[in-house]
Chain A
Amino acid sequence: MNIINNAERVFVSRETQAARIINVLALFALIGVLAGSLHLQLGVGEQPCPLCLIQRSAMIGLAIGPVMNLLWGMKPAHYALSILAAMVGGAGSTRQILLHIADPNDPGYGPAVLGYHLYTWAFITFAVAIVGCAFMLLWNKPFEAQDTGLRFQRSWFRIAALTGIIWVFLDLLVIGISVLPECGLGMCPDDPENITGAGDVGGWLVVLSIGLLAFAIAVAIVSDRKVLKPRTQST
């Protein structure tokens, strides 16, 4: 059973479209986690610790699977990369959880969100990601559709997917650049000093402006007819 994307007449199986929607939702869930940590850094002024940066690095790695699925087409190898990244991030977050439960009087690092510290939420995210990827690997139909990705489609869905992909990329740039003044090129300090942030509202505005910039770039890419010329059309 196939559906047709009217703008470019590219046939996409329903299973592939459903898998793409799940991948976009996963991408935005990851953006939510990254946005929360960036708000804490840029808004509240709490600098990330070394283990926090290792978990952020793994979060970026986790996003690689959905990004490749959306741009290159559905492949089991892309989910495998996400699982491997989740294992690395799980190791980092487990290390930090163990550090803080070793001493019963330890209040934990940073503020708690809904009763859990960010590293506990990170561990939950990595665990859910592994289970999610395993379920997606059990579902063979999207892999059988010879999907070549969203590259040659003109649709609202492509804008949403590209917004998510570019948003993660911009978050990566912001995280990477902000590491330099805190740590230089070496290892970051274990307990970094807080900086003056943009405030609670200011922090969210910064995070949302990154998303708006990603959306604007996505609209510009989809509107550009030159990048829409397909080399081959999948059927």
Chain B
Amino acid sequence: MFSMFVLWFLVFVGIFMRRTWVPTLAIAAMVWTLVLLVLHMSDPIPLNF
């Protein structure tokens, strides 16, 4: 899950440096967050956490 925040860190660095790839990387960070959510949803987790 650390990787999500690495992606957001790179997005912020891109914003500060005014890079054109920022929106693309931001969308990639969101998609990766969704992938981790889906992976977590497929875990046999208990309901009481």
CB-CB nearest in chain A for B43? A190
A103 and B48 form a contact (CB under 8 A): yes
Complex alpha-carbon distance, A99 and B40, angstroms: 12
Closest to B30 in A: A88
Interface size class, chain B: 20 to 34
**Interchain CA distance A109-B41 in the complex, whole Å:** 16
Q: How would you classify the secondary structure of chain A's contact residues: helix, strand, loop or mixed?
A: helix
B47-A102 in contact (CB<8A): yes
Q: Which residues of B contact A184 (CB under 8 A)?
A: 2
Collect the chain B residues with CB atoms within 8 Å of residue A58's CB. Answer: 30, 33
Assembly CA distance A85 to B28 (angstroms): 11
Interface residues of chain B: helix, strand, loop or mixed (majority): helix
* Interface membership of chain A positions 165-185, coded 1 if the CB is closer than 8 angstroms to chain B and 0 otherwise: 000010011011001100111
Distance in Å: Cβ of A138 to nearest Cβ of chain B: 21
A134 located at the interface, meaning its Cβ lies under 8 Å from any Cβ of chain B in the complex: no
* A200: min CB distance to chain B, Å: 24
- The answer, among A57, A72, A191, for a CB contact under 8 Å with B15, is A72
Interface residues of B in 1-29 (CB under 8 A from A): 1-6, 8-9, 11-12, 15-16, 18, 22-23, 26-27, 29
Does the CB pair B27–A81 fall under 8 Å?
yes
Q: Does the CB pair B12–A169 fall under 8 Å?
A: yes
Give which listed residue, B16, B30, B41, B45, contacts A61 with CB less than 8 A: B30
Give the Cβ gap from B26 to chain A, nearest Cβ, in Å. 5
- Nearest CB in chain B: distance from A190 CB, A: 5
Q: Which residues of A contact B47 (CB under 8 A)?
A: 99-100, 102-103, 106
Task: Choose one: A77, A85, A103, A190; the contact of B45 (CB below 8 Å).
Answer: A190
Bound complex: CA of A51 vs CA of B33, how far in Å? 10
A71 at the interface (CB under 8 A from B): yes
Given A64-B26, A81-B27, are A187 and B39 neighbors across the interface (CB < 8 Å)?
A: yes
Complex Cα distance A81/B45, Å? 31
Indicate whether A68 reaches chain B with its CB closer than 8 angstroms.
yes
Choose from B18, B36, B46 the contact partner of A190 (Cβ within 8 Å). Answer: B46
Interface residues of A (CB under 8 A from B): 49-51, 53-54, 57-58, 60-61, 64, 67-68, 71-72, 77, 81, 84-85, 88, 91-92, 95, 99-100, 102-103, 106, 109, 169, 172-173, 175-176, 179-180, 183-188, 190-191
| Complex A-B: 7 CB contacts under 8 Å | A50-B1, A50-B40, A54-B4, A84-B30, A91-B37, A102-B47, A175-B5
